[in-house]
Amino acid sequence: MRLIILDRDGVINQDSDDYIKTPEEWLPIPGSLEAIARLTRAKYRVVVATNQSGLGRGMFDASMLSRIHEKMHRKVAEAGGRIEAIFFCPHAPDDHCECRKPKPGLFHDIASRLYVDLQDVPAVGDALRDIQAAQAIGARPMLVRTGKGSRALAAATGLDGVAVFDDLAAVADALLAADAAG
C-alpha cells in the first residue's frame, strides 16, 4: 500500500481568503473527489495535512472543523474514495508552533502515527509552504495550479525541480500512469 499526502484548501476544495468556516463553504474542486477515489482504488492511503489557523484566530471552533471534515469524508466516500486521516495545525502564524507548514511537524506526525517513512512519498499542495514542508522531510512535493498554486508558480521561488500539475486529477493521472508503467 502506498501513501499520498494532500493539502486540503486549494487541492481538494476551493480555497478562500476568508477561510472555510462552515460545511456550506466547503466546496470540492471539480475532479478532486474522483481523483481521490481513483487513488483509493489503486490502493493509495490518502491522508490530509492542513493548516487551519482559523481555529487559532477564533474564526471557528473544533466542533465546526469536525463538521467540515465530516462533509469532506462523506463527499469523498460518495465518490468512491477514502481519506484515511486528517492531520491539522490549529495554530495562528504568530504562535510559532512546529506543526504549521512550512515547518514539517504535521509530516513528522504522519510518519510517526502511520509508522511510515515519508521519503519520496507524494505530497500535493497549492502553496510554497506545502512544498517546503514536503521537502524538509524528504517527501516528493507536487504543486497544483488550483487554489493558490498559480500565484506560487508565478512567484517561482523555491520550486526548482518540483512537478507542477493543473489539479489533483492530473496528479492522479500521472501517479497511476507511472504505477502502470512499472
Please check whether residue 47 lies inside any domain of the structure. yes
Please check whether residue 132 lies inside any domain of the structure. no
Helix/strand/coil (H/E/C) assignment for every residue in 79-90:
CCCCCCEEEEEC
Please check whether residue 148 lies inside any domain of the structure. no
Please state, in angstroms and rounded to a whole number, the distance separating the CA atoms of residues 118 and 111: 6
Q: How many CB atoms lie within 10 A of CB 117?
A: 11
CATH number of the CATH domain containing 166: 3.40.50.1000
Three cell numbers at 158?
523555491
Q: Is the pTM of this model over 0.75?
A: yes
Q: How many CB atoms lie within 10 A of CB 179?
A: 12
pLDDT mean values, one per 10 residues, the chain (182 residues): 95 96 98 99 98 96 98 99 98 95 98 97 98 97 96 83 97 97 86
The 3-state DSSP class for residue 42 equals coil
Please check whether residue 35 lies inside any domain of the structure. yes
Please check whether residue 49 lies inside any domain of the structure. yes
Overall number of domains in the chain: 1
pLDDT, residue 182, reads 80
Is the distance from CB of 83 to CB of 47 less than 8 angstroms? yes
Range of the domain at 73: 2-116+153-181
Say what the alpha-carbon torsion angle 52, 54, 57, 63 is, to the nearest 10 degrees.
-100
Three cell numbers at 128?
510554497
Q: Which residues are catalytic?
A: 7, 9
pLDDT, residue 19, reads 95
Helix/strand/coil (H/E/C) assignment for every residue in 118-137:
CCCCEEEECCHHHHHHHHHH
pLDDT, residue 112, reads 97
pLDDT, residue 159, reads 84
63 CB-near residues (< 8 Å, 6+ apart): none
Please state, in angstroms and rounded to a whole number, the distance separating the CA atoms of residues 128 and 101: 9
Q: Find the helix or strand (DSSP H, E) in which 57 lies.
A: none
pLDDT, residue 63, reads 98
